[in-house]
Amino acid sequence: MSLMPVQDALDAMLSQVSPLAGVEHLGLVAALGRVLAKDIRAEVTVPAFDNSAMDGYALRLVEAEPGKTLPLAGTALAGHAFEGRVPPDHCVRITTGAVLPAGLDTVVMQEQVEQAEPGIRLLHVPKLGDHVRKAGEDIAPGQLLLSRGQRLTAVDLGLLASIGLAEVAVQRRMKAAVFSTGDELIAPGQPLPAGHLYDSNRVVLSAMLKRLDCEVLDLGLLPDKPDSIRQAIQRAAEEADVLITSAGVSVGDADYTRQLLSELGDIGFWKVAMKPGKPFAFGSLGKCWFFGLPGNPVAAVATMDLLVQPVLRRLAGEPIASQQLLEAVAAEPMKKTPGRADFQRGFYQQLNGQLQVKPIGRQSSAVLSGAAKANCYIALEQERDQVAAGEAVRILPFSQMLR
């Protein structure tokens, strides 16, 4: 089997999946981080009326002259408009957000007047429309505010509230099943017998799924026994939209996972030209999509992030987006041989006006401690050889899923 370039693996998966059906209506705060199911167009004008952007005095510009005293006709407070006409050569005391009284066009800040019986004296001549927020300057009716497929941020939710919506239609939450297999694995919290290690993959993968707002179905840590693995695969196929497992998908692996997947589903076993990574499985178990990640902890994280995340986002209804790589300078040499795209874990920072990056910790796919200190991948191209200090490299800052 030849190695499949990372982009080819992504393209192959993305061409097969389409957004999951199902919409739910949520209150605004509950919709944080969820994927919008419909375009949102404004049906209202924001602000709905001309109003003051400052505490001060509203007047007619044509009546404003330096040193002139304007008597006060009344007060306009936020939520309490000034009613009626303002007589000629008069002003109105106004607070931020109050309706601009009919016929007036300009606001003078209170710092730019002095009190002079029976009103105020202008210390400064304003310009037409100073400190007035015009009706519709924020949002006009018909304007496209948010697009279907975008993940709702806190600011988006505020925007929805500002046009009077209390609920929003979002894609239903994806259900993602996870299990680990391996007789050598022990659940965290238990004593560790000789020759064993803790099951960290199920924790990191579940946490990454939470970051994407998936509902996680934890099918546990399974022994290397065909019956228990078969049961877990069947349960996921019935109940979940996706199943994500780690380990047991490499060629010639003694585990049962690979064998059972071939039997129960339509799964392809790939060798992806990436480091960390390589063994990877993708396919379907009926209506459930399957992703089989390598067992080594850093490889599991990197394949989940770089290969699975884009597909999950597509299933969730987001548009397909390409990775936003940044240019940086290598602060240290990096080991690399041509043949696989390398995603070294690195730390980047702005130094002397440019981004500098260095690899962090041991670049072994079994070593999580370095990855925990990193803030980016250093994305070294498939055919690239070792990197000397000072060379330009491309980096991929860690996604939301890893933070």
* Site residues for ligand AMP per CB under 6 A: 180, 182, 184-185, 197, 199-202, 246-248, 250, 253, 255, 294-297
**Which tokens hold the place of 186?**
């022990």
Query: How far, in Å, CA of 265 to CA of 288, rounded?
Result: 9
Residue 202: name its binding partner from ligand AMP, Mg ion, none (Cβ under 5 to 8 Å by kind): ligand AMP
Residue 250: name its binding partner from Mg ion, ligand AMP, none (Cβ under 5 to 8 Å by kind): ligand AMP
Q: Which residues are registered as beta bridge partners of 270?
A: 280
Residue 297: name its binding partner from Mg ion, ligand AMP, none (Cβ under 5 to 8 Å by kind): ligand AMP
Residue 200: name its binding partner from ligand AMP, Mg ion, none (Cβ under 5 to 8 Å by kind): ligand AMP
Q: How many CB atoms lie within 10 A of CB 25?
A: 12
> Smallest gap, in angstroms, from Cβ of residue 354 to ligand AMP?
37
Query: How far, in Å, CA of 295 to CA of 252, rounded?
Result: 14
Contact indicator for 226, 181 with CB cutoff of 8 Å: no
Residue 180: name its binding partner from Mg ion, ligand AMP, none (Cβ under 5 to 8 Å by kind): ligand AMP
From the list 64, 233, 237, 247, which residue makes contact with Mg ion (rule: CB under 5 A)? 247
Q: How many CB atoms lie within 10 A of CB 163?
A: 18
Which span (83-91, 253-261, 279-287, 311-319) binds Mg ion, by CB under 5 A? 253-261
Looking at beta carbons only, is 111 or 184 nearer to ligand AMP?
Answer: 184
3-state helix, strand, coil in the chain (%, to 5): 20, 35, 45
Looking at beta carbons only, is 248 or 265 nearer to ligand AMP?
Answer: 248
**Which tokens hold the place of 218?**
């934890």
182 binds Mg ion (CB under 5 A): yes
Looking at beta carbons only, is 110 or 259 nearer to Mg ion?
Answer: 259
How many residues are present in the chain?
A: 403
> Smallest gap, in angstroms, from Cβ of residue 159 to ligand AMP?
41
Binding-site size, Mg ion (CB under 5 A):
3
> Smallest gap, in angstroms, from Cβ of residue 365 to ligand AMP?
8
Question: Residues near 328 by Cβ (< 8 Å), separated by ≥ 6?
Answer: 348, 354, 355, 356, 357, 378, 392, 393, 394, 395
Looking at beta carbons only, is 255 or 318 nearer to Mg ion?
Answer: 255
Helix axes 226-239, 257-264, angle to 10 degrees: 40
> Smallest gap, in angstroms, from Cβ of residue 334 to ligand AMP?
24
**Which tokens hold the place of 315?**
């299933």
279 binds Mg ion (CB under 5 A): no
Contact indicator for 139, 20 with CB cutoff of 8 Å: no
Looking at beta carbons only, is 186 or 355 nearer to Mg ion?
Answer: 186
Query: How far, in Å, CA of 339 to CA of 388, rounded?
Result: 18
Residues that bind Mg ion (CB under 5 A): 182, 247, 255
